[in-house]
Amino acid sequence: MPLLTRHIHPGWLIIAPLLVLVVTLYLGPILNILWLSVTDPEPGLGNYAQLGESDALIRIIWTTVRICIITTVFSVVLGYSIAYAMVHCHQRQKNYMLTLLLVAFWISILVRTFSWLMLLGRRGLVNVALEDIGLIVEPIAFMRNELGVLIGMVHYMIPYAVLPLLVSMQSLDTRVMDASRNLGASGVQTFWRIYLPMTTPGLVASTLLVFILSLGFYVTPAILGGGKVLMVAEYISVQLLVTLQWGTAAMLAALMLFGVLAMLWMMSRFMKLSTVFGGSTR
């Protein structure tokens, strides 16, 4: 035993069950998917070659990336202003805001998606009200198109954008801003040159979180897109359940996985990822 503990830190024994779980229940299936992507229907890189041959696949991937980028930009900008307001208002108001944010956060995605249909649908509250007061003649097509998908996704993603930003803003040393003002910088200058750079780790964290979660969206595009907005997650599910092209599905899943990993790697070239995820800067 002493020999063993000299070479292996006893902490590993405590972590071991977790490691075994992660490896068997998480890495196993992922490897299985990667394996499927090069073996089904026949061994080789045929599934990946489809990317070069099929305009349809490229278009689906492009739709997904485009929607995710737009969703991320809107969610993070709105999230930043919400977090900023929360940090700088009274504790009481802040509690109200946090409660509202968390209530939205906890409501099921299905409920939130269908609520948008009731609110902004063709015969929804907004369209009917606008028609009744004579502002519009034809209902505005908010839903069942790409705009609808974006509205639904941004709304769903805002709490995910706010929470990392809130943590980042709350931990700032406010004396730095005072010093900046004291040394003659205007409020705007202080924001752009001091405040924003200091909240960058929070910004990166919420951008990554929102973008990665958006990539896997399924329910919202399927319902609010009216069938015309096809994203990768829904396409994968069709290939698995309806057309039985498991190789194509596995290839797309692998592609998304590598896409996310590549993004993390690129980020790590510019900054220490541990700061993004709340670790120390050193």
Partner 1 sequence: MLGRQFMKETLQDSAHAYKEGRMDRRTFLALCGASGVAMSAVMAGDAQAAADHVVMWNWGGQSEECHGSAIGDPFTEATGMGLRFDTSGPLEGKIKEMVDSGNVTADVADADLFNAVSLGVTGHLEPIDYSVVSKDKTLPGFALEHGVSVILYGYAFVYDTEAFGDNPPQNWADFFDTEKFPGMRSLYKWANGSLEAALMADGVPGDALYPLDMDRALAKIKSIKDDSLYWGSGSEAHSMVVNGEVSLGMVWQNRGRNIENDTDGRFKLVNNQAMAMPGAYIVPKGNPAGAAAMQFIATAQEVSAQLSLLDCLGMTPSNPEAFDQIPEDQQPYAITSAMNIDKIVYNDPVWWGENGGAAVNAFLDAIS
User: Which residues contribute to the site for partner 1 (CB under 8 A)?
Assistant: 55-56, 59-60, 63, 117, 121-123, 144, 222-223, 226-230, 235, 238, 240-246
Sign of CA dihedral 40, 41, 43, 45: negative
On whether the CB atoms of residues 85 and 101 are closer than 8 A, the answer is no
Tokens of 65: 């990336």
**Nearer residue to partner 1 within complex by CB, 213 or 240:** 240
Question: Considering the complex, what minimum distance in angstroms separates the CB of residue 235 from partner 1?
Answer: 7
CB of residue 230 to partner 1, shortest distance in Å: 4
Shortest Å, Cβ 35 to partner 1? 14
CB of 66 to partner 1, least distance (A): 13
- Closer by beta carbon to partner 1, 81 or else 243: 243
Q: How far is the CB of 249 from partner 1 (least distance, A)?
A: 9
Is the separation of the CB atoms in 157 and 71 below 8 Å?
A: yes
Nearer to partner 1, 114 or 191 (CB): 114
- For partner 1, the closer of residues 208 and 222 by Cβ is 222
Q: Which is nearer to partner 1, 120 or 276 (CB)?
A: 120
Q: How far is the CB of 80 from partner 1 (least distance, A)?
A: 32
Q: What CA–CA distances, in Å, run from 226 to 94, 122, 216?
A: 37, 12, 18
Q: Are 218 and 231 in contact (CB under 8 A)?
A: yes
Beta carbons within 8 Å of 276's beta carbon, 6+ residues apart: 201, 204, 205, 208, 267
For the CB of residue 135, give the shortest distance to partner 1 in the complex, in Å: 19
Q: Which residue number, 10 or 43, has a Cβ lying nearer to partner 1?
A: 43
Residue type, 187: G
Considering beta carbons, is residue 158 or 229 the nearer one to partner 1? 229
Report how far apart, in Å, the C-alpha atoms of 261 and of each of 159, 164, 249 are: 23, 20, 18
Residue 86 neighbours by CB distance under 10 Å: 20
At which residue do the structure tokens 């009481």 appear?
92
Please state, in angstroms and rounded to a whole number, the distance separating the CA atoms of residues 35 and 6.
Answer: 38
Q: Which H or E element spans position 72? A: helix 55-88
Among 167, 157, 148, 256, which Cα is nearest to 210's? 157
